[in-house]
Structure 1
């Protein structure tokens, strides 16, 4: 079959590789290029341990405190508050215990298939040199913060994820020296891994797809038109017809969805970071400042400080003071961090209110497969998503039940 993949971020690139390997003729479209947007600037983690959805019971009780700090872990610009209100209502409903338990089970299933698919990807394409296995250190300030995190940590352990609970500053310092002593407790995930650089990883995956004769076109897709003869993509260079289509354009998917009579609650958690040059800090593991909403991770030979959530949509200008605030906090928590010479970035995490991606066929046309909305977990779940996309295209039974990820799971999904 001839298949068009829209989007050359990590989901699109990995899906293109899976489809090319299955013997299909694949053409990837992207308006800017490979990993040119959100897939370029993330923290580079394969966070298979992150099975807890963002919409957890009681999460909204914490939100007012966070929102009081305009540069804190969560920000909602007043100019966007009304527009995101329906998304927030769905997020609140997803945090109820009945929905939360379902979301945890769905995350566990997708993480398991993604971890197995990544292992196959590493083995088959010899990409191990782009992986670091330094673990992850999640830090807490005091006994109360650690106790509040314990239910989530126990859920991880119950699902077979190895987590070492640390209650002695010396044990924390043995893993990551140079932290201020206010962080008295930690959880260390030894099996956690990172890519050396998410942009380089995505480019490497797409190179493997191109070796299997997939083609990349730098062109924006402006419309998707099904007909009896196939599915036609409109681009600036003219129409192009395919047997099947994969839509993997992340937070940029809404215009094409609306043209296909879909109105899904897809929004964006805008994230900020600063990437510092080599020598900025002796970072030995992926460090998560749990109650402050940001991470510090190695990217190439440098250090990336980033995270937080800004519910600001696609159109508001970036507020780079948020990146500055994260960097200032990192300096307070890691006094030896050299904060000069960094490069700032803002990206759009494509997020559904229940913290689960959309993976499934268009309800009116199974020739169109949707794969977006992975939030903070696009890189983590990319290989598993690609495997499921390939199953959908082939008409084969998927390896896991796709019901939790179906595009029709939200009321009012028709445009």
Structure 2
């Protein structure tokens, strides 16, 4: 291919969804990735299209829980001591984002992106021959006490105000939806509008296959720098090879800020290191995704097995994985689910790119409109992938974005 119209950096679910959306607008697209399709967080996430998950991680509620959680190195939220000083500036921005006025702003912005993503999802899946992978089995959030349940109610009120359907349930009503819950869980909330994908890695690989089938090119390249040039962008790889395109989309997940820095931008992207274990399909008779919010993890049913994972370890890109976190979640799941079998699993750790206010960066670079950022989705990369792709395709083709992009400005910090 001669100089393409667009180079997309990143072959995860955001990058490939964006590449397909741009391709369908008639643009020639090349995707570059350091490891290839579905090699990062897109492979090991929980597989949920969590359109009801509009509440930001940065919130007054998390501030109340954080001190207790941080005391437990294997708990739902941890910062390894070796990384504490490095992450301090990000944590300060996170604390500021927890102010009620900022949380309300984040919820409104998040909801607009969620609504767009949900509206775009099924047409996108149909167009990419992946609609058969979509599941609509809901999510059950469970609580161990009246106090824990009451503490969740403001969040559910916020969801109700945005038109999200849910049902509060007692123990017997939860059992009708999901048998096998331990008696310690006395209350729950079911959200039927919570969708999932059969397997996030297989889905992302299917997108790569569709993109190639429509004439797209995917190449392995470790991108080291971007440079604005007349009528386009020059892309430098670590092997010294230079490429050019009319426009570049930076969707390299947790590594995106390093590349953006070569354009002179300092974007406070941090890494939520997520852990999980994927067990054989007979590990538990799972009817719906279960969220153990007080313990910071979920149990998900995939076509390839039962996945137990979650929690947040703010530990950057370099520290070795601490798979004791995966083991701790398995131990809890064995206690929480009657008949659960924790043996025979495959462990995984991945990097979830997160910005302090829990909103992604979607928009043009400061130095050139020919570079468009699409990263920082945290836990919601799969959920918001199709909506983000629509917005980036709008920017690439000079159309007015489908929603207001001001809250997602990469320069908002």
Q: 1:96 aligns with which of 99, 109, 118?
A: 99
Aligned-residue offset at 1:255 = 1.8
Secondary structure in 2 matching 1:365: coil
- TM-score (normalised: structure 2): 0.97
Aligned-residue offset at 1:212 = 2.0
Q: 1:121 aligns with which of 116, 120, 124?
A: 124
Is residue 2:363 matched to residue 1:360? yes
Retained in 2: the 8 A contact 1:21–1:212?
A: no
CA distance in 1, matches of 2:54, 2:232: 38
Partner of 2:235: 233
- TM-score (normalised: structure 1): 0.97
1:159-308 to structure 2, matched below 5 A, reads 159-166=162-169, 168-235=170-237, 236=239, 238-308=241-311
* TM-aligned CA distance change 1:171 to 1:35, over 3 Å: same
Aligned-residue offset at 1:198 = 0.3
Is residue 2:360 matched to residue 1:336? no
Structure 2 runs not aligned, ≥5 long: none
CA distance in 1, matches of 2:112, 2:220: 34
Retained in 1: the 8 A contact 2:57–2:358?
A: yes
Secondary structure in 1 matching 2:137: coil
Aligned-residue offset at 1:58 = 4.2
Number of residue-to-residue matches in the alignment: 409
Secondary structure in 2 matching 1:217: strand
Structure 1 runs not aligned, ≥5 long: 411-415
Partner of 1:32: 35
Aligned-residue offset at 1:229 = 4.5
Retained in 2: the 8 A contact 1:270–1:310?
A: yes
Secondary structure in 2 matching 1:18: helix
CA distance in 1, matches of 2:230, 2:284: 58
Q: CA RMSD in A?
A: 1.1
Q: 1:154 aligns with which of 137, 153, 157?
A: 157
CA distance in 1, matches of 2:167, 2:140: 9
Aligned-residue offset at 1:301 = 3.9
Secondary structure in 2 matching 1:177: coil
CA distance in 1, matches of 2:30, 2:192: 38
